[in-house]
């Protein structure tokens, strides 16, 4: 019975690894020039200190999804990346980490915080 139980869980885990592949760290990065044009514009606005088109731009990002490294509350701030033809803010964001206005790191998501890629210069 124990052997059957172990085989069952091994099969489940192997199946999940196919559905949810583990990415290498290199795949969790995106270069600035590879970002959509709108994300590049948002990044420039962040570095210039604004002005920002959305009221929530610059608000504290709580990292409730725990997709980013754990940091003290207030470390991360979120900025909307315009999505062409969207009637709302859309799913794309840049999250800046560090002390405003000299952020230490930037992350991009195009799936509303489900995944992030660290932006490389």
Q: Which residues are the active-site residues?
A: 78, 112
Cα angle vertex 119, ends 62, 51, to 5°?
A: 65
- List the structure tokens of 12: 């489940």
Give the strand order in the sheet containing 76-80.
Answer: 29-31, 117-120, 102-109, 93-99, 76-80, 59-60
Contact 120, 30 (CB under 8 A): yes
> What is the Cα–Cα distance from 72 to 101, expressed in whole angstroms?
17
């Amino acid at each position: 019975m124990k052997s059957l139980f172990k085989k069952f869980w091994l099969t489940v885990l192997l199946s999940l690894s196919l559905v949810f592949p583990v990415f290498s760290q290199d795949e969790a990065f995106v270069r600035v020039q590879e970002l959509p044009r709108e994300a590049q514009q948002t990044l420039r606005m962040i570095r210039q200190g604004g002005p920002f088109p959305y009221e929530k731009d610059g608000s504290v990002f709580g990292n409730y999804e725990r997709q980013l490294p754990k940091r003290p509350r207030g470390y991360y701030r979120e900025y909307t990346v315009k999505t062409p033809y969207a009637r709302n803010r859309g799913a794309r964001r840049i999250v800046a980490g560090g002390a405003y206005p000299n952020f230490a790191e930037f992350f991009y998501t195009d799936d509303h915080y489900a995944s992030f890629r660290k932006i490389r210069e």
